[in-house]
Amino acid sequence: MKRLLLVFLVLFFASSAFAQIHIIDDFEDGDLGHFQGSRPKFSGSTTGILDDLVALDSTAAYTGAASLKFTLRDDPALTTAWFVRFISGPPLANLAANDTLTADGWIGFAIKATGGSDSVWCGIGVDAPNTAHISDSSKLILDGQWHIYQWDLDDTTQWRRWVAAVGNPSNPTSIDALWFWAPNGTPDIQANLDYVVWNSTGYVPVEIVSFKADVTDNNVELRWITATELNNSGYEIERRAEGDSKFKKIGFVQGKGTATQSSIYTYQDAVTKMGAYSYRLKQVDFDGTFEYSNTIEVVVNAIPGEYTLAQNYPNPFNPATSITYNIPENGYVNLTVFNLLGEKVAELVNTMQEAGTHTVNFNASSLASGTYIYSLNVNGNSITKKMSLIK
């Protein structure tokens, strides 16, 4: 679904079946892992920021109970842009100080960050014998939520040479550093780092394990379950009626952002015409990328067979009530409220409507207590009922 931001599937059974995962740092052992003794300005390559300490943070974690907390702070004495090489494995930052990895998988990390500006970027550097490479940069999302950034070691388009030989990262390889770029004067960035991981393959950010629909009368309930979510803004609900060539967006359900637990979602669609319908989900990430689910189909057979006007509910009421009515075919609908003198006090509906069940809310806060008449007129049919407003 995307080239740079791909989910780490952390459920063990899925990892065993589909991918090998090597956790480089998750900060669960009470120390700073491969960043022990490091600071954002540890490297002589770093420029544009002030020095700052790093620390364990037990109040925030992508997985587990802890993460590494650090701050990127602009140096006001310099006019250069930020170029931050946050070294892994000091003082060497080489194969001897880091985990040895193979160069045929994906490598990345989870970060949540706030502050900064719209022009902050991150990447990762890797070391191999006689060569070093820097990944393409990916925009750092500064919304205070966890986001995964990951790169394919096999993909030549994602890497550029930094030191010595050309070509892709080669075996054996290890993490050199996390990289950050930002313009001069960028506001301070508060960040947490977690789940520095190599894995053998990549995954789509959201894994939908179930998507189904249940029909009751003319109501269609969509229900879907996710195993994991990553950078998930939410789901656009799309429907296509029988005979239509295109899907239409009918709603949106907000996602969970990033979650390693299973989540259940539902959406109710009140269909106004009998027939076959197709539904699909358009899962949208925070960066605008998206992926479609599979398509499911339902048949709706229950559309109202006669014109009916229900008693308003609640009744008596103060000051609001709801009125429901059924129309078996399309028509121009007028629903009006009168007082006992026959004077019109409110017009609730005056438009074309499709066949089906409709509900309208009536707020009588401006009216006096008393009995009122509401009248439905559609396709030559007229139905009238009374309701009581008690203040």
Please give the domain boundaries of the chain with CATH numbers for all domains.
12-199 (2.60.120.260), 207-300 (2.60.40.10), 308-389 (2.60.40.2550)
Mean pLDDT for 178-203 is: 89
Alpha-helical runs (H) found in 229-300: none
Mean pLDDT for 164-190 is: 82
Q: What Å distances lie between residue 345 and 42, 71, 325, 371, CA to CA?
A: 75, 63, 20, 12
Three-state DSSP at 261 gives coil
Q: What does residue 157 show for φ and ψ, rounded to 5 degrees? A: -75, -10
Residue in this structure with the two tokens 């075996």, named with its chain if needed: 171
Mean pLDDT for 183-210 is: 83
Q: Which tens digits make up the pLDDT trace of 280-338? A: 999 998 878 888 998 999 988 766 678 999 999 999 999 999 998 988 889 999 999 99
Q: Is 169 in contact with 103 (CB distance < 8 Å)?
A: yes
17: which residues sit within 8 A by CB, 6+ positions away? none
Position 11 pLDDT exceeds 80: no
Handedness of CA 91, 94, 97, 103 (dihedral sign): positive
Position 17 pLDDT exceeds 60: no
This model's pTM is above 0.85: no
